[in-house]
Structure 1
Amino acid sequence: MELQRMAQGSAREVFKVFLKLGLTSFGGPIAHLGYFRTELVDRRRWLDDQQYAQLVALSQFLPGPASSQVGFGLGLHRAGMRGALAAFLAFTLPSAVVMAVFAFGASLFSGPIGTGLLAGLKIVAVAIIAHAVLGMARNLAPDRARAAIAVVAAGSALLLAGSFGQVLAIAFGALAGYFWCRGKDAGAAAAMQFPVSRTVGISCLSLFAILLFGLPVAALATGWDLLGFIDAFYRSGALVFGGGHVVLPLLQSAVVDPGLISSQEFLTGYGAAQAMPGPLFTFAAYLGVLVDSGPGGAAGALIALLAIFLPGFLLLLGVLPFWNRVSHWPAARAIMHGANAAVVGVLAAALYNPVFTSAITSAPAFVLALLCFVLLTAWKMAPWIVVAIGALGGVLLGVLA
């Protein structure tokens, strides 16, 4: 099995960019998509909005951590498999290390300053996502048909709870695009191509299925605690749509219900994960340290992280070669125009709930979010600077309150 080469950039370049994103991308998976777009579409021009939305839509359809799958795909597109691994490591490492340390008893966010810092990071996520929605709407929903698709998709994502509404919204967008978006290829960018062969894709899909069904059987047959430990995290990563918050009940049933960790420890760690930049799936590092059936310590954190992220990446690699083949078909292009417009609606819905409703709880908070939005859009300020300003503003609001 060999990956085809695509020499657009280097793994070192990808690692540096995603390390900055891993250190500054607060706010959860939807916010991460905003950070990615600002950094890689607006600032670095690695790809355009059409290509970016294609990858977002594809990741929304697949189980796994959606924002991490998008990051993995962006690294793959830029620098091949080395770039994909570099993107994953750099984006995941900062929060994973902090979560593992937190599991050993480090109390990170307490008191009015800590509370204000968390509030500020939520507020700046409002500005980041609003900026992404505005930019994507201009490019992906520029006419009546696609604007209507975006509005219906937003309604679906808001009115139908959970990831089901998001998946249904993109499915509707794809169907509507097939009928309403024919002949809209003028000036559109080429479909996003990925250096993955069909052999690699089929192998990844096979391995995904073998591990999903084989791990619980092997754990039961051998009675080996480590296999059960790996299965708990792999199954959680394989069966979750939408990533992040959606994995909570799956992990809870996998580690709390069997008595491998207390409910209080579980909720404490999940609360800390909300404060971290990067993917919420790094909550697995915290659990890997504490869960009784695993090796514990750094080894437990590492195994838990690999197990929970692996299924999503196997699925993405498995599907991409077939997407490479069909993406040039006129019908597929029309479908993606509709799906891209639906992505705008899904992001707009997430901007309202849970991002805006949980972060903007007062007039000063709204003013701070508006300031961050203007710094991003009118002043063209780098996102990490805006994050720092939002965090400091949140601390100030917390102290004054």
Structure 2
Amino acid sequence: MTNLIYEVRKLSSKNIVSPKGFSASGIHCGIKHKKKDLAILKSEVPASVAGVFTTNAVQAAPLKVSKEVVYNTKKMQAIIVNSGNANACTGKQGIADAYEMQKLAADKLGIDPSLVGVASTGVIGEILNMEPIRSGVGMLNLGNNLEDGIDFAQAILTTDTVMKNTTYSTIVDGKEVIISGTAKGSGMIEPNMATMLGFITTDANIESDELQKALSEITDLTFNSITVDGDTSTNDTVLVMANGLAGNDPLTPAHPDWANFYSTLKAVAEDLAKAIARDGEGATKLIEVEVEGAISDEEARKIAKTVVGSPLVKTAVFGCDANWGRIIAAVGYSGATVDPEKITIKIGNALMVENGEPVKFSEEELIKILKANEVKINVSLGQGEGKGLAWGCDLTYDYVQINASYRS
């Protein structure tokens, strides 16, 4: 990236169809009892594509289809998504069903099946009922209005309590470039992706290989830096489609406006990642952990993810208990290089530990800090220049209740 002063502007009332040339739809077809459960997203023209997928060795059938589009075709024009059933651990039938979804969408849109990605989310291990999907595809009416984007965003949700949408714009070659994203994810969220789906659209002109490099880098700083419960799912997918309709010259790291594009894509990914962490199943608070002074950025991120993923830290935040001992313990078992005598910890603006020594603090002040909707924890290691961020949520009674009856 360059050191240019760049413009990144967040837009309101915008969603996945805000960039030029995108349309979407979302409906209830019958996989779920009442809520929307089938969605489709289309670009006017075949788009450059990039994707990142779960690190779980057990991967759902739709991932096979989408990986072929991303890695072999390297162009994507549409994505079809169902919620309510993950089509995971469903054997040969699951693969056949994923390919049928791909063909149904392609026939509906009049495009080649090799240009269609597939994603599913929901219950693992149950054969997907294809009848509602077969009839539902015919009912999908694509549009590019705000309502169409909202329908899409609603149809991909499972235990989420809110939609997750964000849009930014920037300038490339004097032209406005828009990047929008929508995501779902609430439980089974762990660094290195989880039961989350993320879809990002942009009208920027960029080749798939360059887009893939940018997405892979940004994923480590955003989607791979969140955790809700330490479980990694079978269906995690983030896809980016770039259709080039903004009319800019092809973007590469050598382009003078590369920083504009890269920073805007990162802003979209970070917004979605934080929204997923904030909406963790049963969660009441977003937790942000910032680590500085590590021997490397990678070590800093490792510590941040360990702290935000600690069940004891998460329950302490839920209970408004300023138990910094749980934080320093997580730092210690993170596997990163630390010197206990150099560790400094803050919760909000309150200093808890300085160079390994406890500091007197006001319980009343800390309770106020911990009652906020967002709780920030800062860990300084005093060993180097490495910095890292991670996001998570508190662990509540409701998390257990939601997951004790997920299939019912």
Superposed pair shares fold, TM > 0.5: no
With normalisation by structure 1, the TM-score equals 0.26
Determine which structure has more spread, i.e. the larger CA radius of gyration: 2
Identify the structure with the greater helix proportion.
1
With normalisation by structure 2, the TM-score equals 0.26
Identify the structure with the greater strand proportion.
2
Higher relative contact order (CA 8 A, sep 6+): 1
